[in-house]
Amino acid sequence: MRPTFTFRFTLVTTVLSLLACLGCNTPETHVRRSSLMDYLYPKEKAAPTPSPAGARLRLPLRLGVAFVPGGSGSWRVQSLLAPGQEKPLLDVVRQSFKDKPWVSEIKLIPSTYLRPGGGFENMDQVARMYGVDVMALVSVDQIQYTDPKWYSFTYLSIVGAYVLPGDANDTRTLIDAAVYDVTSHTFLLRAPGQSQVKGSSTWTHREVQLREHSQKGLETAMADLAKNLDAEVATFKAEVASGDRKDVDVVDRQGVSLRQGGGRNFGGAFSWLESLATLALLGAALKLRRS
Amino acid sequence: MNPLALTPDALHEPWRLWTSHGIHFGWEHGLANVVALAVPLLLASRQDRRRLLLALLAGAPVLSLLLLPSLGGAEYRGASGLACLLWALVGLRLAVRGESAPVGLLMLTGLGLKLGLEASFGSCFLLRPDGWQPLPSAHAWGALLGLAMALPPRLFPRLA
């Protein structure tokens, strides 16, 4: 006996519904990424070589900070953040560096001003527009994993999807800031910032929690980045002073080269000859006092 | 940057005003400064040493604040500014006492010679350290502070 149309329709509908429900319970991964390499070195062009003369940075610096835009079809930061949320994130970096003596001002540059794949040409345009000497380009790599817990099969009951937190959400964020000298296109330094946010949610609340975690992950990673950037600047300064960075020199407010000035670190000191003289004076004074 | 060294950050990290005088760029640097600090302390009487230590404690932040404008973005470490303060303070106080006047005058002459040579050559001419530069103004400010501390007789140590 051949199955009736009604039977076949019911069977197909049931199987599709079951697959749809099971689909709720499979692991999912969301990747959001903006790449510095895609922005500065678009694939179709050869990478421009930095100026052979190297970078000569004159303190105090005017620093520009911007998120790197994603390529076409990939993630853009502003699409994740509501308008106006990009600035608070960049403000974390600005607050960390506003009192540093080597920086005179920090400009927050909206990522909408940076063209995907714009390269150094686009960076130069924006730097000229904002009048900055160096640019910190911030790229983001955020991955969100959602794994079903063992009891996530209760989602099939519909009520479970609203009540039981059967999704384990894990958001990992890596933010990287690369600092370039605008004039010479010399790479100066880089610093990473990372974070991990974990939580559980019901199936219906999953997207809300992923958005919250994404925002929180970015904020935590930016704070970590600001801390690491401070340490990297100190290392960079030491490398320039010791001559390890031959492609970079830093000139301080008095016009003295950091490389030639041995780092311009100062010490109050007595030479060994002076120390011997003080000891001789001590001996003479004690002898005089006894006599 | 060393969190204890003197930098412009000292304006909101005040411990640097004291700690910068206690850290050095190596053991040779530290040892030479300890010798320079020890001599005036040894020449003072035992009961005056506590007052001298108090003078060091009070003088350290003042000296640090005086040095800040000459640092730019750099850092400063070393106790020689304080050593010069002690040499001037103890030297002047000893020089005005009859029995210890020769010792005091000898100390002041030695200090004057050091400062004079540094002023003439623009640097510590006997010292060529790696990675940092001597700061003669630290010695000059230290000596001036020491002389200023030694002048009002009621406020400062009465040395034996």
Q: Identify all chain B residues contacting A275, using CB atoms and an 8 Å cutoff.
A: 31-32, 35-36
Tell whether B135 is within 8 A of chain A (Cβ): yes
Calpha distance B96→B79 (Å, rounded): 26
Q: In this prediction, what percent of chain A has a pLDDT beyond 70?
A: 82
Express each pLDDT in A107-144 by its tens digit: 888 888 888 888 888 999 999 999 999 999 988 888 88
Q: Pick from B39, B75, B139: which is nearest to A265 by CB? A: B75
Q: In this prediction, what percent of chain B has a pLDDT beyond 90?
A: 21
Residues 96-115 of B with CB under 8 A from A: 100, 102-103, 106-107, 110, 114
User: Nearest C-alpha of chain A: how many angstroms from B151?
Assistant: 22
- Whether B7 maps to a domain, the answer reads no
pLDDT at B147 over 60: yes
The residue whose two tokens read 């604040």 is B65
**What's the mean per-residue pLDDT of chain A?**
79
When pLDDT is averaged across residues A24-29 and rounded to a whole number, the result is 74
- Whether B159 maps to a domain, the answer reads no
pLDDT at A182 over 80: yes
Range of the domain at B136: 18-150
User: Nearest C-alpha of chain A: how many angstroms from B7?
Assistant: 9
Tell whether B9 is within 8 A of chain A (Cβ): yes
Query: Residue A241 is which amino acid?
Result: A
- What per-residue confidence (pLDDT) applies to A127? 92
The strand pair at A266-267 and B76-77 is best described as: parallel
Tell whether B20 is within 8 A of chain A (Cβ): no
Q: Identify all chain A residues contacting B126, using CB atoms and an 8 Å cutoff.
A: 271-274
- Whether B156 maps to a domain, the answer reads no
Q: Is B120 exposed, middle or buried (0-12, 13-18, 19+ CB in 10 A)?
A: exposed
Q: Identify all chain A residues contacting B71, using CB atoms and an 8 Å cutoff.
A: 266
Express each pLDDT in A274-288 by its tens digit: 778 888 888 888 887
Q: Per the structure block, which two tokens stand in for B28? A: 């040779």
- Whether B4 maps to a domain, the answer reads no
Q: What is the count of structural domains for chain B? A: 1
Express each pLDDT in B53-104 by its tens digit: 999 999 999 999 998 888 766 788 889 899 999 999 998 888 887 778 888 8
Contact between A274 and B126 using a beta-carbon 8 Å cutoff? yes
- Whether B158 maps to a domain, the answer reads no
- Whether B9 maps to a domain, the answer reads no
Closest by Cα among B53, B144, B5, B3 to A268: B5
**What's the mean per-residue pLDDT of chain B?**
83
Pick the range with the lowest mean pLDDT from A102-116, A169-183, A208-222, B113-127. Answer: B113-127
User: Nearest C-alpha of chain B: how many angstroms from A191?
Assistant: 17
Tell whether A279 is within 8 A of chain B (Cβ): yes
Asked whether the beta carbons of B91 and B79 are under 8 A apart, the reply is no
